[in-house]
Each structure stands twice: as structure tokens, then as C-alpha cells.
Amino acid sequence: MKTKVIKLMAVFFLAVGTAVAQDIPESQVPSLIVNNFKKEFPKATDVEWEREGDIYNVDFEIGLFTDYEAWFTASGTLIKCSMEIPAGDLPKAVTNSIKKEYKGYRIDEAKKIIKNGVETYEVEIEKGNDERELVYSKNGKLI
């Protein structure tokens, strides 16, 4: 039941976010932001921009099928970046914490998130029909 409620809320917020966020061509992104993006992620491909208020969001790939997302302020400052990572790339403290607290669950997806210089890990785990989304500090503390 809890999983269904979470999924329903996720769909709702995705719909609201899609209605508010606006896809824009790179030519409409201020050059300062584009330049900072290209400097920070020179190997980015499949780049797609959105704007929500004064925040510019960019989805892109680096390498084969590694999805990234980054957020920039109107002044060009990178404020957040997330990247999909293999479960094997999670810090040992995170995987140990999951093994201890969630016996029998398997890691389905993992993301590394850096926001304002702070590194966290978003991990989706599942056991049968039970799915959970957890956020950990890099030292394995559940947030």
C-alpha cells in the first residue's frame, strides 16, 4: 500500500513538474550557463535543457548510457548534479548499511548526488513487490 502511495505521489509531482518546467533549446540558455556546463562536463552528449523559474536543468549522457542531470542558477553556478551509477560503485559504507538494515533486498538503481558540495547516494531497493527509495550520506548514514 505504501509503495502504491509513493508511486502515485511520484506521478503527481512528475506531472506538476512537467507542467511547470519548460523545455528550451540551448540557444535560449544564457551563454554563461552553457559555457560553465561545457567546462564542467566537456564530454556530455544528448543534451536537453529545461528552465523552471531562474533554475536551468540539463539532462545529458557521458559515455554509453550513463545518465546525468545538473542544475544551474541564472548566474551560471552549478548547484546540484546527479548521475546514475552501478550498485558496485556505491561506497562500501552504504552497501554495508543496506545489507544490515534491509536483509533480503537487492539494489535496483543507484544515483550519486552532489548538492552544494555535499555528496549523497539515492538508492532504490526491492524485495518482491516491496520497493523503497533511500538516501544515504557517503559514510552510510540513512538520511
Per the CB < 8 A criterion, the answer to whether 89 and 116 are in contact is: no
Q: What is the pLDDT of residue 124?
A: 97
Give the mean pLDDT of the chain.
88
**DSSP, res 88:** G
Q: HSE of 52 in the Cβ direction (CA atoms, 13 Å)?
A: 11
Q: HSE of 86 in the Cβ direction (CA atoms, 13 Å)?
A: 4
DSSP string, 102-134: STT-EEEEEEEEEETTEEEEEEEEEETTEEEEE
Say yes or no to pLDDT of 51 above 90.
yes
Say yes or no to pLDDT of 15 above 50.
no
pLDDT band at 57; cut points 50, 70, 90: very high
Q: Is the dihedral angle over the CA atoms 31, 34, 37, 38 positive or is it negative?
A: negative
Task: Give all domains of the chain, ordered by start, each with its CATH number.
Answer: 2-137 (3.10.450.360)
Calpha distance 119→16 (Å, rounded): 27
